[in-house]
């Protein structure tokens, strides 16, 4: 199972290098800076492919996996003269952001429940860095400047920039809370299992 994990990591590395090479080859090095949520998640998944890393698994569970799923449901790959290759890299990268932590969970590793607030705090730090880069470089990391084209976020953005930012914040908080609830349900700690058992016995 560890071999498969490293194979997935190798595929992810190739996919990331492909995207990086295409962007740099077109003179778009600014877009290659890893300040998108999925870029950071891909790096976290790449490190996780080497071995267990509890903080990275938490990050991927709460932020990376929901973000990657949304990116696959509402794809918005960058435009490139090598569009087919970039699309392939886009979809493979986001799929592996889902697969690698899922494989780690299959190997017995577990995300930790109750991590919503730390993950949201980490997201604020990332957003601050992304917003600063957007201001200095004219980029759109985390889609803080404008929504990705062809996604439902465009309708929210049309209601006003402030509403758009509040929606992004609320959406990520809701996703973190959902993943927190799933984590507690799917991977209960021994104390939680004991408490459930006691509740069942009293009933």
Residue with tokens 């962007």: 23
Residue 150: band (very low, low, confident or very high) from pLDDT cuts 50, 70, 90: confident
Distance between start and end Cα atoms, the chain: 41
* Helix, strand, coil share (%) of the chain residues, nearest 5: 75, 0, 25
Where helices occur in 74-113 by DSSP H, the ranges are: 83-106
Q: Give me 41's structure tokens.
A: 């998640």
Question: pTM for the complete prediction?
Answer: 0.90
Q: Lowest-confidence range among 56-70, 113-127, 179-193?
A: 179-193
Residue with tokens 């569970």: 61
pLDDT average, residue stretch 47-61: 95
Q: Is the pLDDT of residue 91 over 50?
A: yes
The conformation of residue 111, written as its DSSP 8-state character, comes to: P
Highest mean pLDDT among 3-7, 31-35, 168-172: 168-172
Computed over every residue of the chain, the mean pLDDT equals 91
* Predicted pLDDT at 80: 87
């Amino acid at each position: 199972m560890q071999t498969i994990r490293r194979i997935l990591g190798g595929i992810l590395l190739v996919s990331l290098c492909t995207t990086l090479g295409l962007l740099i080859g077109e003179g778009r090095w600014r877009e290659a800076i890893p300040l998108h949520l999925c870029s950071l998640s891909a790096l976290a998944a790449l490190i996780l492919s080497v071995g267990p890393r509890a903080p990275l698994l938490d990050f991927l569970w709460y932020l990376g996996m929901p973000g990657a799923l949304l990116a696959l449901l509402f794809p918005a790959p960058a435009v490139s003269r090598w569009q087919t290759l970039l699309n392939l890299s886009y979809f493979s990268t986001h799929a592996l952001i889902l697969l690698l932590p899922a494989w780690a969970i299959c190997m017995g590793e577990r995300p930790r429940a109750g991590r919503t607030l730390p993950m949201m705090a980490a997201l604020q730090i990332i957003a601050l860095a992304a917003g600063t880069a957007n201001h200095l470089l004219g980029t759109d990391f985390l889609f803080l400047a404008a929504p990705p084209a062809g996604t439902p976020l465009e309708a929210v953005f049309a209601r006003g920039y402030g509403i758009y930012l509040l929606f992004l914040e609320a959406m990520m908080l809701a996703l973190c809370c959902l993943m927190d609830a799933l984590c507690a349900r799917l991977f209960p700690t021994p104390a939680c299992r004991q408490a459930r058992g006691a509740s069942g016995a009293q009933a």
